[in-house]
Amino acid sequence: AQTVTQSQPEMSVQEAETVTLSCTYDTSESDYYLFWYKQPPSRQMILVIRQEAYKQQNATENRFSVNFQKAAKSFSLKISDSQLGDAAMYFCAYRSAGTGGFKTIFGAGTRLFVKA
């Protein structure tokens, strides 16, 4: 079974600085999708960024980018020019691209604090 591990329960960053959130996963599959979801205090979960495993190029979305290391099974999220609105819980997630259903597996989350 696949697992997702986020080893940082909490992180803190100064406004305008850069922070990296770590995520590792375990799978025997070669084709899959990886995601970062954000959960602000409102509790609403929203997608930050996604990566297809067959793509070598790291995904970017404005100030958010990932460092995808397939061999190491690592998928970190970098937030540049951090803003107060980035303060939230961040979840790393894995989804198989195979025929085993559409289940998405989540890590335990990293709570990000942004200091003004």
Give the residues lining the site for another protein (CB under 8 A): 4, 6, 9, 33, 35, 37, 43-47, 50, 52, 91, 93, 95, 97, 101-109
In terms of CB distance, is 16 or 47 closer to another protein? 47
CB of 8 to another protein, least distance (A): 13
CB of 93 to another protein, least distance (A): 8
CB of 22 to another protein, least distance (A): 14
Do the Cβ atoms of 86 and 114 come closer than 8 Å? yes
In terms of CB distance, is 85 or 101 closer to another protein? 101
DSSP 54: T
Residue with tokens 């107060």: 84
CB of 37 to another protein, least distance (A): 8
In terms of CB distance, is 18 or 55 closer to another protein? 55
Would you state the torsion angle of the CA atoms of residues 15, 83, 8, 55, taken in this order, to the nearest 10 degrees? Answer: -130
Nearest alpha carbon to residue 2 among 18, 24, 35: 24
Q: Is 53 left (phi over 0), alpha (psi -120 to 50) or beta?
A: alpha
